[in-house]
Amino acid sequence: CSYNYYVFSREPTWGWGHGGQVFHESLTMLAYAFMDPVSAMNSQRVYLERQHKNGYINYRTGPYLDENIPHNDQLTTSAPWYAWQNWEIYQITKNRNFLKEMYNSSEKFFRYYTSRRDSDGDGLCEWGADAVLESVRDARVAVWDEVGWPSNFEGMDLNCMLVMETKALAAMARELGKEKEARKWEEDAAQRTKKINRFMWDEKTGFYYHVDLKDNDFTFKNQDDLKREEIIGFLPLWSGVASREQAEKLVQKLTDPEKFWRKFGVPSLAADDPYYNPMGYWNGPVWVEWDYLIVHGLKQYGYHDLARELVERVAANMIAQLKKDHQLWEFYSPDDQWAGYHKQYIWAGIINRMLMDVLIRQSK
């Protein structure tokens, strides 16, 4: 690498954590940029430096690693948070050279991704290649384990990410004086938003779900088997996809203590789902970066008090663990003072941004 890069875990016995950067771990740069803006920008440039001419970016990228994990004639990449990360980092650093570089790189990656992850050409994308890895939620996922492989579905989470990518690209283009391009990106975001709300919103349950790739309904094998209340159902708050009325229903679901409003944060799966395990993996624990996205969404819709309360709940468990072992962990129990499985984990550091976002507003 020509630039500094990070390892996402400094646990010496866990080799996987030393190999290279991944987009979802890079969300932590949204906190780190306040401390070392140059390193945060250069960490993103690691992706730019290794980007293929066609726009592809590796699943993991490091000084000795270009991991692309071929599967079904596709290369695995990482969940598309790239343009949004770059825009968020720019808003902290105000470095226009970085903005110019990353607008071009982000556009190339977006076009690569959407041209290869929409097999039926309907404007909604599905996870591809090694789809479980690409989706971030790579173990003990209720839908992946009990319904089917991710590429069988139009990904509700994925399409919310792509909405945010186009919104970020629009903001970047406008900042660079490319108004015509900005309007095109905004139209892309609007069209994808309409499709998410048309097919993936269920009025009866007041929640968002994946839909079957073939006919865009909530049934894959058994009736309504895709209606599993996972944390991804709140991403329309973060991405601005939900209407005000839909947001109200999502917040009702979010603040139900029997489902998601647990003692130490929002779990990755509703607590009343039979697959729920607070010490599992993606079937119950609190993943701090995903709770950050919910905090971002709550603030966006004006639920500032709830956003602050959620941060306080997550922080309470993290502080308790820091007092015990001085470690940041991969994930935390929503119900008890417990954390696992891998320690010295970079993405738990996003708690600093969460605290800044709610405490700075509170002090104004």
Decide if 296 is inside a domain.
yes
Decide if 117 is inside a domain.
no
Decide if 353 is inside a domain.
yes
Q: pLDDT 10s per residue in the chain (364 long)? A: 787 877 766 666 666 666 788 888 899 999 999 999 999 999 999 999 999 999 999 999 888 789 999 999 999 999 999 999 999 999 999 999 999 999 999 999 999 999 999 999 999 999 999 999 999 999 999 999 999 999 999 999 999 999 999 999 999 999 999 999 999 999 999 999 999 999 999 999 999 999 999 999 999 999 999 999 999 999 999 999 999 999 999 999 999 999 999 999 999 999 999 999 999 999 999 999 999 999 999 999 999 999 999 999 999 999 999 999 999 999 999 999 999 888 888 889 999 999 999 987 655 4
Its domain, for residue 257, covers: 244-364
Decide if 290 is inside a domain.
yes
Among residues 88, 114, 89, 86, the alpha carbon closest in space to that of 102 is found at: 86
Sign of the dihedral defined by the CA atoms of residues 321, 334, 289, 139, in that order: positive
- Write down how long the chain is: 364
Decide if 142 is inside a domain.
no
Decide if 6 is inside a domain.
no
DSSP string, 139-155: SS-HHHHHT--GGGEE-
Decide if 114 is inside a domain.
no
Decide if 303 is inside a domain.
yes
Residue position matching structure tokens 């603030």: 299
Domain count, the chain: 1
Q: pTM of the predicted model, to two decimals?
A: 0.96
